[in-house]
Amino acid sequence: MRKISLCAAFIAVLVMAFSSGAYAWTDGKKEGFLLGVHGGYSFTTIERDDYEDVNGSGFLVGPYIGFGLNEQFLLSFRVRYHHTSSNDSDLELYTTMLGGDMMFFLKPDLGLFINAGLARAIAASNTTGEPPWGTIFYAGLGYFFTQNVFGGFDYAVGSFDNDMSTGTISFAVGAMWY
């Protein structure tokens, strides 16, 4: 029963996002429900008491769902999955980030935007038992190349329960439908 409810809710969100996108595409406005995906590459520094500082890199991917309030401001919920591995250590880190995100367009007709958000994350590695939870703050800059395709970068700072802290620079491309 629960699977059916979740499936029905997911289908309802998809229908709202795509139907709002269908009418928004005709007028080119960034208003209404939005749905999107993004993927990219990130460079991470991991600091822990029981390890030397570790530098790693890896791929990231995730969906967006949100709402465009007007031509300059939109709110979204972002899920981002990171995999970070390092050549100078045996540490591999798998991070899942669930965050609230906002985008602010400097001018409505210009594709340039500033984004920032706060996320809750869980980080599992091949060297720890219980995965620690943490909080991540991120901010960045991006540009819509077309009406639906964007690119950007952001810098994220995270702090986790097991005295681990991270700093990540991410480069991503994505698509959003309004």
CATH number, position 102: 2.40.160.20
Instruction: Choose among 89, 31, 34, 15: nearest CA to 56.
Output: 89
Query: Which pLDDT tens digit goes with each residue over 56-83?
Result: 899 999 998 999 888 889 899 989 998 8
pLDDT at 20: 44
Query: Which pLDDT tens digit goes with each residue over 2-48?
Result: 555 545 555 544 444 444 444 443 456 778 888 999 999 999 988 87
**Which amino acid is it at 63?**
P
Per the structure, the count of domains in the chain is 1
Residues 94/80, Cβ–Cβ less than 8 Å: no
Mean pLDDT, rounded, for 149-172:
91
The two structure tokens encoding residue 10: 């997911």
Q: How confident is the model at residue 131 (pLDDT cuts 50, 70, 90)?
A: confident
Domain span including residue 139: 2-177
pLDDT at 158: 92
Rounded to the nearest 10°, the torsion over CA 77, 29, 141, 120 is -10
**CA distance to 15, 26, 34, 144, 176, per residue, from 19 (Å):** 6, 12, 10, 21, 13
Q: pLDDT > 70: what percent of the chain?
A: 83
The pTM of the full predicted model, rounded to 2 decimals, is 0.76
